[in-house]
Amino acid sequence: MPSARADSCPSADQVHSRKISRDYEWTVDEGITLKDILSVTRLRAVAVQNAGEFIICGYDRGKGKHLNLYAKPKGNLCVVTRAGGKWHKSDAGDLSCREDDPEQCRFQFNCAGPATPAAKKK
């Protein structure tokens, strides 16, 4: 993965077709099934959390249900920063997308290098 690159959360169509970036570790909350993931209808929110450690891509699932996909780059020590779109920074330093279309909020992972024990000690 390059040391810095702009990206955005996958659209609902990309989730359905399973064409999401393999550059990230994607996780969901406990109890979420593949059927739940494939039922997303639209991207509703994008946020940068935990001092830039990871991205939350929030989706509607219909019938008032929501689902979050969490993205963290694979194998790199990275900090997430905003790269495009309208963002709001909270007092805690978290960022939330303020675009009408959350797909317009782009973020960037600024990476130091491989997450190896030697790299972590530096």
pLDDT of 5 over the 70 cut? no
Strands (E), the chain: 4-7, 24-27, 42-49, 54-62, 65-73, 76-84, 87-89, 95-97, 106-114
Instruction: Give residue-wise pLDDT tens across range 49-108.
Output: 988 889 999 999 988 999 999 998 776 678 888 899 999 999 888 999 999 999 999 988
Q: For the chain, which residues make up each domain, given as ranges?
A: 4-121
Kind of pairing between the strands at 4-7 and 106-114: antiparallel
Instruction: Give residue-wise pLDDT tens across range 36-59.
Output: 999 999 999 999 998 888 999 999
